[in-house]
Amino acid sequence: MASFRFKFKNGEFYELFTLFFDRKDDCYKILTAKLGDFGHSANGKTLVHLEYDGKRHAIRDAASLWNVLEDFRLTSGPNYAIPIEFYEPSGVRFRLKDAEYCRRFSLKLNREDDAYKVLMNKLDQLGYKSNGRLLLCTENDGSRTVIEDCDSLWT
């Protein structure tokens, strides 16, 4: 049996606690139950290990948690607390370029709603009217995609 220290990010604060796991235990269930005891439920969010460089590693089951535990022990040593948090994407980020000016904003979009209509309403609120112009998405490789409906927005 081994002990592991965790620090769970709760907003601006961290909650420190120690858990004891054995290889045969379902360590993921034990960890999520402990977080539930603290009043933190997953509710569709993903539990992640947050590395010091900002990268997040998803923890979805006992196997992925063991990978994080072993990797963290090798790189940081046994006395450090393993940072974890629930991750829920805050929204899709947009950068709208109009002539030389750019405006950045985030929207919370999901596939069940009419995401294109939500985007167009936001642009309307910001004072941008299409007036027959095309809405284009510039991809990472420099290519452009015309956004004209929900399907083209999600692809």
Q: What is the pLDDT of residues 35-84, one digit of tens each?
A: 999 998 888 788 999 887 778 889 999 999 999 999 888 888 777 899 99
Q: What pLDDT, in 10s, does the model give residues 119-144?
A: 888 888 888 887 888 888 888 788 88
Cβ proximity of 147 and 135 under 8 Å: yes
- Write down the residue that tokens 């005891």 correspond to: 37
Q: Is 44 helix (H, G, I), strand (E, B) or coil?
A: coil
Helix axis angle, 27-37 to 62-76, nearest 10°:
90
Which pTM does this prediction carry?
0.59
CB 120 within 8 A of CB 126: no
Q: What is the DSSP letter of 46?
A: E
